[in-house]
Amino acid sequence: MENITTTIKGVYMVGSPKQVSPVVLLADDNGHIMPIFVGHAEAMSIHIALNKEMAPRPMTHDLMVSLLKELGGTVAHVLIDDLDEGTFYARLVVDTQDLQKELDARPSDCIAIAVRTGSPIQVRKALFDQTAIDSSELEGISSLDEFITKDT
């Protein structure tokens, strides 16, 4: 099956003022966007890593990256490969010594780890084509920075 490598456009908030949800936007080389809704904690973790900020203490994703490094492993890439009843599924592909292992993981965790390790984020082409939207279809979207600033 064919995969495509995507880039992160950013972490955003969508919805009405009373009910907002964080979303990570992944883009292909043609400017098509695949939205992945994530939890608030994961959105902040991804946002912090994208901005190259450091928390005073290691966050969970920082710990996972440190643990992997200490055990001699590296992240080859992450793969978002399935969608079932509105839930995306992903794999963290890890190289250890002479083995490659695929670990089932939430896309949000995979993305947070990929940002920290500089690893590629791949998506099954058929899945990307199925879920991609044009940027003109995004309504009621604001960057996470705008959302954070508004609340302070």
Provide the residue-wise pLDDT of the chain in tens; the chain has 152 residues: 899 999 999 999 887 777 888 999 999 998 899 999 999 999 999 999 999 998 888 899 999 999 999 999 999 999 999 999 999 999 999 999 889 999 999 999 999 999 999 999 999 999 999 999 876 666 667 766 666 665 54
- Quick one: pLDDT at residue 1? 84
State residue 132 phi and psi, 5-degree precision.
-70, 150
Cα pseudo-dihedral 60, 61, 64, 70, rounded to 10: -110
Taken in order of first residue, the domains within the chain and their CATH numbers are 3-151 (3.10.690.10)
CB of 110 within 8 A of CB of 78? Answer: yes
Q: Give all strands (DSSP E) within the chain, no chain letters.
A: 3-16, 19-27, 33-37, 73-84, 87-96, 99-105, 121-124, 141-143
pLDDT score at 147: 60
Average pLDDT of every residue of the chain? 90
How do the residues of the chain divide into helix, strand and coil, expressed in percent and rounded to 5? 35, 45, 25
